[in-house]
Structure 1
Amino acid sequence: MNPNVTTPDEPVKDSAQRRKARRMLILLFVVCAAPAVAAYLMYYVFRPQGGTSAYGQLIEPQRPIPAGLMVRDESGQPVPLAHMKGKWLMLSVDTAACDEKCVNKLYYMRQIRVLQGTERTRVETLWLITDGAPVPARIHEAYEETSELRADPVALAAWLPTQAGTGVRDHIYLVDPLGNLMMAFPKDPEPGKIKSDLARLLKWSGTG
């Protein structure tokens, strides 16, 4: 038989191989796109049935952590804040003096995280300190599980949205594991409602 002659079975085999290759490409795309798809679902499917919206203000369009937003850790080393993505981040912005409202936010974040039970390991609490003053020892000791990071207030103001009559120090913010700013909670928040929002997100999302 002439080796250059195509048999009737060969087109069928070639077609099957092409279909198999396409399926593999589609599967690879789905796996790679899964985190982005999860984030989309969290934004647009997150609202529970019955028309009840989330307590926190959903941030649309997405605001990823700016690549150039640097913070200093507790050892004074500069690191990009974006390097902390991978978990759900609850953020509070304030000065090191930390007045009563600041302490309340730190307390709320700690308790909200603890009340997530076994899911709490998926959540990190961050205090973004906007000056160089020392943190009072009593506050540092009370909230030692909250990371204290020094950040430029101008850079934070450019990234974090506020509501009418408020500033960045009035809110608790939530960042998703992909590094996108997702929610801003109201001034003087109801911690039980923040807990419910976060619990629902952790339930629906496989990321973080």
Structure 2
Amino acid sequence: MSGSNSSVPGSDAKLEAASPLSFTVHTMPSPGLDDAARRTASGRLKMLLILAVCAAPVIASYMAYFFYRPEGRTNYGELVDPLRPLPAALPLSDLQGRAVEAKSLHGQWLLVVVAGGACDTGCEKRLWLQRQLREALGREKDRVDKVWLVDDAQALRPETLQAVSQGDPVTVLRVPREALAQWLSPAAGHTLEQHFYVVDPIGNWMLRAPGDPEPARLKRDIERLLRASAGWDRAGRP
């Protein structure tokens, strides 16, 4: 009706009483600390997974070579157990007397000969066989380096130095015999100079050939090692 108040007396009070809606603000946990912890844990997990993936081929290849031996399969050379890592402090030097870091030999399979600088007939035979073995590996030969460790202070004869410098040269390094004996060792009844020593790309001495070895059988050992490491080792140093 005109001029009348449309409000019902007491209606405002009833509305207020019927409106219990209210908001309560609770303290929320800070997301910063939890997120940081989650990121740290996730980063560590990813790093462990990466390390595991990188190490798996190496571990698998050694497991296959050392422990999985189908019937009838035997290695010719003597496996070194446990493996003997190349000492970081091994005092190596080149023929000019300059110090050479041991870690510079990492990254390739090494076929190692030990002999004095005078290089007698036996030394010459082993250096020749070292070259022939590497060449016989065909396209896999670039994964193997030839190394001659000279364990005395005698000068190399010019003709010997010329021979080991032809084609793919031999890496010739001097090392005191006493220091070398802390890493390599001969079989009972033999001298250090009578063997070939096989070193893996990580720097582990892991196989010793018999004195005066049969070339074909030693070659098969090397080929097996190269096949076992085909998934993680490539030609050339990193």
Provide runs of 4+ in structure 1 moved above 4 Å: 2-5, 20-26
Amino acid at match of 1:146: V
Shift of 1:38: 4.5
Amino acid at match of 1:53: T
Gapped runs of 5+ residues in structure 1?
Answer: 6-16
Quote the sequence identity (%). 37
Amino acid at match of 2:131: R
Q: For 1:42 and 1:137, how far apart are their aligned partners in 2?
A: 44
Gapped runs of 5+ residues in structure 2?
Answer: 1-24, 29-38
Q: Which residue of 2 aligns with 1:192?
A: 216
Instruction: Name the Cα RMSD after superposition.
Output: 2.7
Q: For 2:64 and 2:171, how far apart are their aligned partners in 1?
A: 26
Amino acid at match of 1:176: D
Q: Which residue of 2 aligns with 1:84?
A: 105
Indicate if the aligned counterparts of 1:43 and 1:58 stay in contact, CA closer than 8 A.
no
Larger Rg: 2
Matching of residue 75 in structure 1 with residue 92 in structure 2: no
Indicate if the aligned counterparts of 1:88 and 1:174 stay in contact, CA closer than 8 A.
yes
The change in CA–CA distance for 1:158 and 1:22 in structure 2 (over 3 A counts) is closer
Shift of 1:112: 0.6
Q: Which residue of 2 aligns with 1:96?
A: 117
Amino acid at match of 1:202: L
Q: Which residue of 2 aligns with 1:146?
A: 170
Q: Which residue of 2 aligns with 1:12?
A: none
Matching of residue 115 in structure 1 with residue 136 in structure 2: yes
Q: Deviations over 1:70-118 (max 9, x none)?
A: 2111332111223211100111111111111111111111111111111
Partner-residue secondary structure (3-state), 1:173 = strand
Matching of residue 161 in structure 1 with residue 185 in structure 2: yes
Q: For 1:165 and 1:61, how far apart are their aligned partners in 2?
A: 21
The change in CA–CA distance for 1:164 and 1:170 in structure 2 (over 3 A counts) is same
Q: Which residue of 2 aligns with 1:63?
A: 84
Matching of residue 41 in structure 1 with residue 51 in structure 2: no
Partner-residue secondary structure (3-state), 1:163 = coil
| Segment of structure 1 superposing worse, 184-193 or 66-75 | 66-75
Indicate if the aligned counterparts of 1:131 and 1:150 stay in contact, CA closer than 8 A.
yes
Amino acid at match of 1:167: T
Q: Which residue of 2 aligns with 1:171?
A: 195
Q: Which residue of 2 aligns with 1:14?
A: none
Matching of residue 202 in structure 1 with residue 236 in structure 2: no
Aligned residues, how many? 197
